[in-house]
A and B are shown apart, each in its own frame.
Chain A
Amino acid sequence: MSETADRVKKIVVEHLGVEAEKVTEDASFIDDLGADSLDIVELVMAFEEEFGVEIPDDAAEKIATVKDAIDYIDSKQ
């Protein structure tokens, strides 16, 4: 597992208060992890802070799963 994936999963676990084993790369934030749209906004803010990247709104809208987030962040680093 990449370092980005570890850090992303840690943020998701902390923010959504879900068990670590549920945060698989295929997990959908809304369907599998119980996030609402405001949680997604907050997760994106937390990713921006953690990785020092800017995630514009049109990119943020496409982030639906844990893998989407990891891939986007990796592509910007």
Chain B
Amino acid sequence: MFDLTGMTALVTGASGGIGSAIARALAGQGVRLTLSGSNEEKLKAFAAELGGGHETLVCNLSDPAAVDALVPQAVDALGGKIDILVNNAGITRDNLILRMKDDEWSDVISVNLEAAFRLARAAAKPMMKARFGRIISITSVVGVTGNPGQSNYAASKAGIIGMSKSLGQELASRGITVNCVAPGFIRSAMTDALNEAQKAAILQKIPAGGLGSGEDIGAAVVYLASREAGYVTGQTLHVNGGMAMI
């Protein structure tokens, strides 16, 4: 089950914590990857660590022209086809609404939501021709629950969920599924920096009693990318240890 041998994928934000775990999980199931990110050195180091001759492409996701060029470049690098697009890259610019600057709002919307739209639009064309495709976007539990100080981030993540539902309906007849994975609290450099009191407060809200790992997200992406998940579209798979059941 969930053998993805021979498939190709573009993963954005691939050198980050969750992105690298997704890339590792897909590669482990036989997917050939194009790893995209903003830091060339980190990307190359990660590709070397992964082994297996995966490609890397540097892209600034706040630059519309660069984003529009990314899928065609990835298709070329992957030998002419793209089976899976993983919109993983995301940024935060947290602030309370009364203090939020225009560019804190627009930067987050442009990288998290607009880039996901541009990449999905570009990937839909070759996927439609191939009569097969998997568009998977990493959203967040806060896109559904909200979170103080994250109006921009929560809006971008809720936007991805709505967009995916629409695309799922548009593209279902062509063998393309469009889904989201919504992580809760995942162990990362950010959560490592929290103090014990903060960690205890968070854990109290998580029935599973612990933080999630990148591998938990990678496994969810592998499932949604698989041929076996072909009847699942427009959905958001919440991976959060039960902290929000929605």
Whether A associates with B in a native complex is yes
A residues in contact (CB < 8 Å) with B: 38, 42, 45
B170: chain A residues at CB < 8 Å are 38
Name the contact of A45 in the complex, choosing from B125, B171, B173 (C-beta under 8 A): B125
Contact in complex: A38, B174 (CB < 8 Å): yes
Contacts of B75 in A (CB 8 A): none
Q: A46 — nearest CB in chain B belongs to which residue? A: B129
A38 touching B125 by the CB < 8 A rule? no
The interface of chain B, by Cβ under 8 A from chain A, is: 125, 128-129, 170-171, 173-174
CB neighbours (8 Å) of B125 from chain A are: 45
Query: Which A residue's beta carbon lies closest to that of B170?
Result: A38
Q: State the 4 A-B residue pairs at the shortest beta-carbon distance, nearest first.
A: A42-B128, A38-B170, A38-B173, A45-B125
Chain A residue with the shortest CB-CB distance to B171: A38
A42: chain B residues at CB < 8 Å are 128-129
Contacts of B171 in A (CB 8 A): 38
Nearest to B173 among chain A residues (CB) is A38
Chain B residue with the shortest CB-CB distance to A42:
B128
- Residues in A whose Cβ lies below 8 Å from that of B173: 38
Query: Measured between alpha carbons, how far is A42 from B174 in the docked complex, in Å?
Result: 11
From residue A15, how far is it (CB to closest CB) to chain B in Å? 11
Report Cα–Cα, A45/B126, bound state, in Å: 11
Residue of A nearest to B128 (CB): A42
Q: Give the chain B neighbours of A45 by CB distance below 8 A.
A: 125, 128-129
B124 CB → nearest A CB, Å: 9
10 CB < 8 A contacts A-B: A38-B128, A38-B170, A38-B171, A38-B173, A38-B174, A42-B128, A42-B129, A45-B125, A45-B128, A45-B129
Q: What is the CA–CA distance of A45 and B173 in the complex, to the nearest angstrom? A: 17
| Minimum CB–CB distance for A59 against chain B, Å | 18
Shortest Cβ distance from residue A67 to the other chain B in the assembled complex, whole angstroms: 25
Given pairs A38-B171, A38-B174, A45-B125, 7 additional interface contacts (CB within 8 A): A38-B128, A38-B170, A38-B173, A42-B128, A42-B129, A45-B128, A45-B129
